[in-house]
Amino acid sequence: MSRFRRTPSPPKTPTTVLSHSKTSVLRLRPHFFVHISDENKNTVRLLEGPVTYTLSQQESCVRGPEAMILVPPGHYARIANPVMRDKDGNPIKDSHGQVRLRNGDVEIVLHKPEPFALYPGEELEGTITPLKIVLEGQALRLEAIRNFEDTILEDNKPKKIKRIAGEQWYFIGPGTYIPRVEVAIKETVRNSIILSNAALKLRARRECIDCDGKTRKTGEEWLVRREGEYLPNIDEIVVGPVQAVVLVREKAVHLQAVKTFKDIYGVERKAGDEWLVTSEMSTMHIPDVYEKVMGEVRITELTSMQYCVILDPIDSDGKQHLGQKKMIVGPKQFFLQPGERLEKGIQDVFLLGEQEALLLRCKEKFYEVDPIKNKKVEREPGIRWMVYGPRQYVPPTQVEVIERRSSIPLNDNEGIYVRDLNTGKVSSVIGETYMLKPNEELWQKDLPPIVEKLIGQDEDALSGRAWTAKKQRRSTRDKTKVVTYPIPHNAAVQIYDYKKREARVQFGPDLAMLGPDEHFTLLSISGGKPKRPDVIQSVTLLLGPDFMTDIITVETSDHARLSLQLSYNWHFEVDKESQEDARKIFQVSDFVGDACKAIASKIRALVATKSFDEFHKGSARAIRIAVFGLDSDNHVNDCFRFESNNLVITNIDIQSVEPVDKDTLLSLQKSVQLAIKITSESQEAAAKHEAKRRETEAKGKLENLKIVANSQAEKKRKELLEHKAECAAISTTGKAKAEAQAKAEAAHIIGTMSVQQAQLESQTLKIDQESKRKIIGNRYDLDYTHQERMDNLDLEKAKNLSEIKSQALKKIVDAISVQTLQNIAKASPLFKSRILKGLGVRNYLITDGKSQINMFGDGMNQMNQMNPKDEKK
């Protein structure tokens, strides 16, 4: 019993219920208890209040006083080491009076109306705990921690079942769970809400049967697709919800099977298979547990002018053909299946115009129908051909489109270089609209960089000797076009054909066009002052006339060094009709340098034989003689000709002559200034003399002018007096003259008015006569018209009567018949006349159509018979 002894704990209530004194009296209030230990019996017993108890000498209080345990409604308490009770619920005691305990066990105590005390050895585990209320849509997952017999309701009838330790089950709400010591609460499980576009993914803890009656193995996963609330089975683990993928016409979902299974559409999928789910199969798709969503695939749309080529296509059976191609021509909409891909994406149908074509090359052997020949044509790999417009063309999968070609329109001064791929021959096509053939391609003609730079300059070769200046380049030259160069006026270009090994010279103004094997001859000409080689580079040779300036240094016989700046006028004499003569001007590449050197050597040779004074006095003539030379008459020649290239120097302009030595230059300047001063003074004296002479002449002329002016003034004075006398006479006779003039004017006016009145009366009479004449004429015209219409009516009447008579005669003849006429013809004349008279016929003539008739005589007789009165007259 000593194992039940324990150290007394302080009371849990603040109220003191124990009063100690020397006599050890315990006064317990209601609902309090203490444990009293008997040292003699080594037992502990329970003492409940209200009571007043005096402890004996061998007794002691080992616990308490403590308040009894009160379990309110809806709560429970766990009592450890509970006492054993009999069938009536009373504690069982041993032979020593000590209550017996179920050591190591726990007892659940629910609500009691009265509080209860703890027996010695009992302990309250934890605190008073509210009962677990399980709401609707929730459940408690319970597990048996020991074997026991449980009671459940089955068909509203209690049924006892045995629970085995480790067994789990659900307590489904709504309800209040009454705990048991044999059962442990593992977790609270809530119902999962499955929406219309979602599913619940579950995993089996152990082998079980799901809600659809299917056996599930441990670790197996599946989906529950029913809408509403779902409470997982005790052996099911909720992995999580699975949202559906909404499928529209433009979108499909790409799936992959992670395990062999049969999908919701009844198709068996093997592990690793990939497929698409489209809106035609379902409006939404919930991925299965063995389906892995790889992504979304957008629909591929082709218009009527688009097509595409699918690589590694998949047939209707889902079998993929690796290495093959499939063409789809619009208008069409489709999804690319997993593993398929587009070659070059969506491509436009080739719409070829009338001047367009496609260059094609066969990659695989195939047959096609030629639309022009309308027959089947075999295409071998590597062959090239062209499809010409106007048409729409979709290349088959065995065909590679190399390029799109258009007819190249070329003017008369435009061309292209074309190379034959079979022979390698390059030719130029000029001045026509040309379409490249399948075995032809455009050829690029390369030129030396310096030539490219020269022909690409916009500046004219004639403008300002600007060959060496920085020139603005044009846009990059198209190397496939025929190289053209505009040759300026009075210039020449030499073109060399490396294939034929001959040169030709073309003169301007013209357009030079290079053949495939032709190049321009590059000229490298000296320039600057003094001349330096290779300063000017050009493909154009100017023919002149032009000039070039050079600075040379000469030395006289007395060792005076002079710097001469000379300008030479030059031109080329060439026969443009002769190619041999034309090629001669290009024989000297640097004609400027050679000419300047030759002229400079002649001038140096001459100056070296003269002193400074001699040369200074006659430098111009000396230089011209040195260059041009003298003829047989000792006259200076007109020109200096270079026979090698027909260059002609026609004139030399000496622009400056300056000594190279500074002292000589100063002396020369002083002498020049002195000469200028002397010349200016002499000119000033001559000017003063001339001014005095002109002043004297002017004074003499002024006196003469005064005399003439005076005589003319006297003449004018005389004329003035004569005019005054005339004016006086006029003023005297003016009045009488005016009156006479007025009377004459009045008489003239009266006469004029009389004439005008007579003219008006004459016009009035003329108008009256004219109107009468018109009236009479109109009357005659009306009478004539009336008479003409009456005559026409009579004529029409006679004509109609004649027609009526002729028709009547015709009807009579038709009525008589041909046979009757024949009989009449055979009858006697008297009988004929009577018959015809009875018919109203006055004259007749019957013939057989073969005998000749004298129409003149017979006609006259007939007329006489018809007009007997006229015959008598």
Q: Where are the alpha helices (DSSP H) in 267-399?
A: none
Taking a C-beta distance cutoff of 8 angstroms, is the pair 606, 564 a contact? no
pLDDT at position 495: 92
Phi, psi of 688 (to 5 degrees): -65, -40
**CA distance linking residue 273 with residue 296, whole number of Å:** 16
For residue 771 the two structure tokens come to 């109107």
Taking a C-beta distance cutoff of 8 angstroms, is the pair 57, 89 a contact? no
pLDDT at position 349: 92
Q: To which residue do tokens 């017993």 refer?
A: 45
Taking a C-beta distance cutoff of 8 angstroms, is the pair 566, 552 a contact? yes
Strand partners, 572: 647
Residues whose CB is less than 8 angstroms from the CB of residue 93 and which lie 6 or more positions away in sequence, other chains included: 99, 100
DSSP secondary structure letter of residue 113: S
Position 287: which residue type? P
Taking a C-beta distance cutoff of 8 angstroms, is the pair 303, 310 a contact? no
**CA distance linking residue 249 with residue 498, whole number of Å:** 69
* Distance spanning both ends of the chain, measured CA to CA: 206
**CA distance linking residue 862 with residue 867, whole number of Å:** 9
Residue 261: how many CB atoms within 10 A of its CB?
15
User: Could you tell me how far CA 873 lies from the centroid of its own chain?
Assistant: 112
For residue 370 the two structure tokens come to 């030629």
Taking a C-beta distance cutoff of 8 angstroms, is the pair 439, 527 a contact? no
For residue 624 the two structure tokens come to 């011209």
pLDDT at position 5: 35
**CA distance linking residue 842 with residue 836, whole number of Å:** 7
Residue 154: how many CB atoms within 10 A of its CB?
8
Taking a C-beta distance cutoff of 8 angstroms, is the pair 197, 284 a contact? yes
Alpha carbons within 13 angstroms on the beta-carbon side of residue 325 total 13
Q: In what order do the strands lie in the sheet with 274-277?
A: 274-277, 251-257, 291-298
For residue 375 the two structure tokens come to 């027959």
**CA distance linking residue 790 with residue 16, whole number of Å:** 172
Position 135: which residue type? L
For residue 365 the two structure tokens come to 């052997």
**CA distance linking residue 439 with residue 515, whole number of Å:** 20
**CA distance linking residue 198 with residue 237, whole number of Å:** 17
Calculate helix-pair angle for 591-607, 619-628, nearest 10 degrees: 120
Task: Quick: pLDDT tens for 585-603.
Answer: 998 889 999 999 999 999 8
Residues whose CB is less than 8 angstroms from the CB of residue 553 and which lie 6 or more positions away in sequence, other chains included: 561, 562, 563, 564, 660
Residues whose CB is less than 8 angstroms from the CB of residue 134 and which lie 6 or more positions away in sequence, other chains included: 140, 171, 172, 173, 174, 175, 176, 177, 188
Q: Rounded to whole angstroms, what are the CA distances from 77 to 125, 128, 130, 178, 381?
A: 7, 5, 9, 11, 95
Taking a C-beta distance cutoff of 8 angstroms, is the pair 87, 67 a contact? no
Taking a C-beta distance cutoff of 8 angstroms, is the pair 845, 866 a contact? no
Of the candidates 293, 288, 295, 286, the residue with the CA atom closest to the CA atom of residue 197: 286
Q: To which residue do tokens 């070039």 refer?
A: 548
Taking a C-beta distance cutoff of 8 angstroms, is the pair 42, 2 a contact? yes
**CA distance linking residue 229 with residue 172, whole number of Å:** 13
**CA distance linking residue 557 with residue 724, whole number of Å:** 94
Strand partners, 310: 326, 342
Of the candidates 365, 192, 221, the residue with the CA atom closest to the CA atom of residue 290: 221
Taking a C-beta distance cutoff of 8 angstroms, is the pair 261, 269 a contact? yes
Taking a C-beta distance cutoff of 8 angstroms, is the pair 405, 356 a contact? yes
**CA distance linking residue 85 with residue 107, whole number of Å:** 12
Residues lower than pLDDT 70 in the chain: 1-23, 458-475, 663-665, 668, 672, 675, 735-736, 828-832, 835-873
**CA distance linking residue 65 with residue 234, whole number of Å:** 48
**CA distance linking residue 369 with residue 281, whole number of Å:** 40
What region, left, alpha or beta, does residue 559 occupy, with left being phi > 0 and alpha being psi -120 to 50 degrees? left
pLDDT at position 837: 67
Q: Rounded to whole angstroms, what are the CA distances from 747 to 247, 750, 751, 756?
A: 125, 5, 6, 14
**CA distance linking residue 51 with residue 358, whole number of Å:** 122
**CA distance linking residue 389 with residue 372, whole number of Å:** 11
Torsion on CA atoms 706, 711, 717, 721, rounded to nearest 10: 180
Residue 3: how many CB atoms within 10 A of its CB?
8
Taking a C-beta distance cutoff of 8 angstroms, is the pair 223, 200 a contact? yes
Residues whose CB is less than 8 angstroms from the CB of residue 600 and which lie 6 or more positions away in sequence, other chains included: 550, 552
**CA distance linking residue 476 with residue 452, whole number of Å:** 9
3-state SS assignment for residue 106: strand
